[in-house]
Amino acid sequence: MALESVGAWLWDKYGKDIASTLAGKAKEQWARFEWTQSAEKYRQRMKDLYSTTRMLGKPESVSLEGIFTDVQQFPVWQFHRDSLPLYA
On whether residue 85 sits in a domain, the answer given is no
Whether residue 86 lies inside any domain: the answer is: no
Task: Say if 61 falls within a structural domain.
Answer: yes
Provide the number of structural domains found in the chain: 1
Angle at 21 between CA 17 and CA 22, to 5 degrees: 120
Read off the pLDDT of residues 38-88 as tens digits, 9 standing for 90 and up: 999 999 999 888 888 888 888 888 888 878 778 777 766 655 566 556 565
Residue 83 lies in a domain: no
pTM summary value: 0.42
User: Within a domain: residue 19?
Assistant: yes
Give residue 18's domain range.
Answer: 2-77
Nearest CA among 82, 77, 53, 81 for reference residue 65? 53
Q: Is residue 59 part of a domain?
A: yes
**Is residue 20 a part of any domain in this protein?**
yes
- In one letter, which amino acid is 35? W
CB 41 within 8 A of CB 27: no
